[in-house]
Amino acid sequence: MALASCAEPTHDGGSPTEAPESGLDRTAEAQHALTASLAPVKGRQRFRRLLPIDKNLACEDYNADPPYDRSKGPDAEAGRQQLEIIAAHARESDWPEQTPDGFKRIVFANLEAGEETELELPSDEITALWDTAQELGINRPSSGGESGASPSPGLSTQGLSNGTDSRVNKAISTTYPLADADLHRIGQVVGVGGCTGTLVGRRLVLTAAHCLLFNSLTAATVTYAGRRSGATTPFGVVSTSAYWYDSQYVSNNCHQSYTASNRETCGKWDWALLLLPDNAWASSPNGTPGWSGYYVPGSTAMTGNSYARNDGYPGCGYGWSPSGCAANTLYGETVGRGSYNFRGPDPGDSNAFTIFNTGNDVGPGHSGGPIWSRAYPDSTGMWTLGIVTTEFCGLCTTTENSGLPSTDIAYPTMVRRITPWLGGFITNNRASYP
């Protein structure tokens, strides 16, 4: 299958007629003040491996989006050798082989230092930060910009199962101006193929783990282009300094095999958080793009209302690409969709449900992009409720052709939910990297 383009975009700041407002809360100083009362949870850490980095690794050689089975070939063997190195370093530590109850292990890949460390974090302390985030307003969306177009009443189910792709082209235009406070917080992530990511802090981008991890476990340069619109990158192109992901994603071999047989398992841990450099927006011709709020969605609220919206950067050339697909361009719906089947409890996340499905129209390239709302939990701005991980079906035309139950056809998009632990983890890093 063809991939979303991974070509390096031009640094075309352009001269937009409507530049976003700066927003007083968008400065590092304002964020320092907001999180000053927080003591970041450090946990303990151990060396994991020296990180092999190939900045010329061609993302066009890989399909970023599940389902995939890349367990054969020289790249897979290289990945298994890296796993042996990781295991050897683990045996040298005094950590028990299994993660103790009440803790989670997270990998921190430092692209600048060229090494990975593994963090063991107490789950209750991280989860408590979610409550603190709400008390202090740390999880709220940044100010500035204009309100985006109000959503139309949506169908409770959709997907491509009704034969209609409801995505529209949202290139920067009079209809979708740069100042749209929702859309300039979404951007294109280029790592393993082309994906989508959402700013959830001045320096933090939420995306999917499968967008970053090659089956060889070799790292590549990962870039983020906020509100990319074709060849135009109004906030520049930023190279990621580091990223975090759940160690269980790799220990369960999801980087090499992520298919229908294990997607429920891999989906639990298919999230990643990118760290941008402190000066990420120093050369941006339009200032800091601002960021989305993040919120733990309730299953009752989501299944009872059409809150789920999505925008992303689809690849062109698929049977379910948007009609007239324009490469490296944001596409999304103008309505909210229904949600279905909250499931996948994680013991390290207080047994919270980690995944659910929605009726949004997506395709390859939307991975890592936000499931978001401007109506829930309130209407003060864009709220990220989860991230796109994979699809149950592409065209989803009929039960006979897809072999899926009707509910999976109606709700084909699988989502990694924002949970209390993940909300707390984002907050923890907002304090450390304001």
pLDDT tens per residue across span 148-176: 655 555 544 555 645 678 889 999 999 99
Question: What is the rounded distance in angstroms from the CA atom of residue 184 to the CA atom of residue 221?
Answer: 22
Secondary structure class of 120 (helix, strand, coil): strand
According to the model, what pLDDT value does residue 106 have?
98
Tell me the residue ranges of DSSP E strands in 128-178.
168-169
208, 367 in Cβ contact below 8 A? yes
According to the model, what pLDDT value does residue 188 have?
97
The helix (H) or strand (E) run that includes residue 391 is: strand 383-391
314, 361 in Cβ contact below 8 A? no
According to the model, what pLDDT value does residue 306 have?
92
Structural domains of the chain, ranges and CATH numbers in brackets = 41-432 (2.40.10.10)
- What letter represents residue 32's amino acid? H
150, 335 in Cβ contact below 8 A? no
327, 230 in Cβ contact below 8 A? yes
According to the model, what pLDDT value does residue 12 have?
39
The helix (H) or strand (E) run that includes residue 340 is: strand 339-346
309, 371 in Cβ contact below 8 A? yes
- Rg over alpha carbons for the chain, rounded to the nearest Å, is 20
According to the model, what pLDDT value does residue 399 have?
63
Question: What is the rounded distance in angstroms from the CA atom of residue 383 to the CA atom of residue 367?
Answer: 18
Say what the pTM is.
0.93
Residues with pLDDT less than 70, the chain? 1-23, 58-63, 148-163, 398-402
Question: What is the rounded distance in angstroms from the CA atom of residue 287 to the CA atom of residue 163?
Answer: 41
Of 266, 267, 425, nearest to 357 by C-alpha is 267
According to the model, what pLDDT value does residue 49 have?
98
According to the model, what pLDDT value does residue 266 have?
97
CA–CA distances in Å: residue 340 to residues 105, 305, 308, 386, 408: 29, 11, 11, 13, 9
Could you read off the pLDDT of 267-286 as tens digits, one per residue? 999 999 999 999 999 999 99
